[in-house]
Amino acid sequence: KSRHGGVGPAFDLFGPKGRAGGDDVYAFDDGVIDGVGEDEPGWCYNIQLKAADGFYYWYGHLNNVVVKRGDHVVAGQVMGEIAEWTEDHDCDNSSGAAHLHIDRGCTENGVAQTGGRDNCRDPDFIPLLSQIYGRL
């Protein structure tokens, strides 16, 4: 998907309905983990990656996060896994399938802003991800 709830460019990768999570989530670029937070207390987590390209990438709906704030990561390094969807817990109560949300923060006055904010998503991110996806 190229839009997330109609509030700006983001990328959601969905598995088949009813499929468990557990797939690894990888760092998009080299960088430093700027934060690890909770989407839903005790269940799903998110990661904020400050990447070498100067942008912040936000990964949501995760489980078993294996990085912490301040960790240095390299592109392709496992950071966690996609959380399992269940009737009681799907992080956003909408998908019906395990999925990964990723977006890239916008820039304001030339300064990169954190990802995961509806009002500040980089519109150039979706074409980039679509291009990468198309090469797989």
Q: Is 129 helix (H, G, I), strand (E, B) or coil?
A: helix
CA distances for 127 relative to 1, 11, 96, 109, angstroms = 11, 10, 26, 22
pLDDT above 60 (res 4): no
pLDDT the model gives residue 96:
59
53-92 residue pLDDT tens: 999 999 988 888 999 999 999 999 999 988 776 655 556 5
Nearest 5°: the CA angle 38, 43, 45 is: 35
The whole-number pLDDT of residue 79 equals 96
122 phi/psi in degrees, rounded to 5 = -70, 115
DSSP state of 121: B
CA–CA gap between residue 59 and residue 55 (Å, rounded): 13
Mean per-residue pLDDT for 9-20? Answer: 60
* 19-23, 25-29, 127-131: range with lowest mean pLDDT: 19-23
Q: Where are the beta strands (DSSP E) in 44-98?
A: 44-51, 56-63, 72-73, 78-82
User: For the whole prediction, is pTM greater than 0.85?
Assistant: no
In a 3-state reduction of DSSP, which class is residue 79?
Answer: strand
Both tokens of 96, joined, read 């019906």
pLDDT in tens, 33-53: 999 998 766 668 899 999 999
* Kind of pairing between the strands at 78-82 and 24-26: antiparallel
